[in-house]
Chain A
Amino acid sequence: MKTREAGSGGVAQTMTFPAMATRVTLRVVNPGTAAGDALATARRVFERVEAACTRFDPQSPLMRANADRTAWHAVPEECYLAIAEAARAHLETGGIFDPRVLDTLVALGYDRTLPFRSGVSLTGSGPAITTRVPAGAAPWRPGLDPESQSVRLGTDRIDLGGIGKGLAVRLAAQALAHAGGGHLIEAGGDCHVAGDGPDGDGWQIGVEDPTGGPEPVTVLRIADTGCATSSLRVRSWRVDGAAVHHLIDPRTGRSAQGGLLSVTVLDPDPARAEVWSKSLLITGRERIARLAARHDLPALWVDESRRVAVSAAMAPYVIWTAPDAT
């Protein structure tokens, strides 16, 4: 844990650690006396959510529930919250967000941590892809018993990867709420900011160039909100020569092909921001503006031509956009 000067007359206490297949940074501005404990608590939140919701450990609570989907399973609070949040998101998005994609991802070869950044090319998975899809499935209604924190998943195995991280950011933000004058949580595509930022006028967050450019395509100035980006930049690979990625369109059972490279959404709840960034990307370029407007979502998207567009609700937060991306 490090303590550094932070902006005008203040200091920041920072903690960085690996979790959930990314690097997590927690920063408290003008930390109070309990900041160290709060940061440690926030770190444990990530560790607990990862342990409860990982699909890469067959003994995790999620995978035990996945293994016997018709039985009720008492699960840790973090796993219960993630499944309940996924069920709520499935309803809110009209089924665009659907966690029943685990078998599709496995069929695509994503059954283990893959070295995406150095390139992945798999063979022999082709025929299975079309036989393990949730396309056209009935709406997902898992059994949820809040009193015993038990779940019954139903017919299909589920993946909680994205929403688990959003939930972890939400819970970590709660842990840091009174740790100091404000905080920043950065966990890959998901983040949360509180307070007025190190300079007193908000936090400036760069939206990564999904084509891999070194500079952001847009800079946002935000305060007291969550922020999530879904992007095809890293978790993309090839199967039998065909390009695929991890964001599965439940309408087709295949990697979404909507002409978008990334979508960023702001919401006070980081888990909801995560849900909508993924759902809007799956929705695709043709319908994203209408869907974002219908739900009054601050959303920003980058299409395959690297053009940036924003919803009306996002416009007030944009302070800069790359001249060659407009």
Chain B
Amino acid sequence: MTDGPGHRPRPSTAALLAPAAAAVLAGSLAWAAGHPPAPLTKAATTASPTPGPAATERARQLRDVERLRTEVASLRAELTDLAGTDNAGQTGKRGAGGTARATAKPKPKPVRTTPPPVQATTGAS
């Protein structure tokens, strides 16, 4: 079956989202590259005296980096999901004879292995 006159194929959701995600990704990575996270100390995981302005600013930057990383990972995962959905949909439209694109392999999410600083802990008493 063919499309009627004047009917233009709709761009996929992934195609729409990809440029925005790529821009956010590039901006985030550039910013993160210019703000390397400092190593966290074990003392930061327990209730401790409140930090000074410099430490506070550094903590804020670390949180920003972490938030951007999470955002980038989320966008990557969303793109991967959408690509998979679109591929499945196109495969279905094309029927048995259609050729689906290879599904993008999900990239591993960046994982922060050390906890961010905390002001208190909750647990056994």
Contacts and interface: CB of A to CB of B under 8 A. Distances in A.
Contacts of A2: 49
Contact of B50 (A4, A191, A193, A234): A4
Given A186-B47, A206-B115, A323-B113, A234 B122 contact: no
A206 B118 contact: yes
Given A198-B50, A206-B115, A219-B116, A188 B125 contact: yes
Contacts of B115: 206, 215-216, 219, 320, 322
Given A7-B51, A8-B56, A216-B45, A320 B116 contact: yes
Nearest to A200: B60
A7 B45 contact: no
Classify the interface of chain B: helix, strand, loop or mixed.
loop
Interface string A227-253: 111011111000000000000000000
Chain B: number of interface residues, binned into ranges: 20 to 34
Interface string A79-97: 0000000000000000000
A231 B124 contact: yes
Contact of B47 (A25, A207, A209, A262): A25
Nearest to B125: A188
B121 A206 contact: yes
A31 to B, nearest CB: 12
Given A5-B50, A9-B53, A27-B50, 16 more contacts: A4-B49, A7-B51, A22-B125, A165-B125, A184-B119, A188-B124, A198-B50, A201-B63, A206-B46, A216-B45, A232-B124, A234-B124, A262-B124, A319-B66, A320-B116, A323-B111
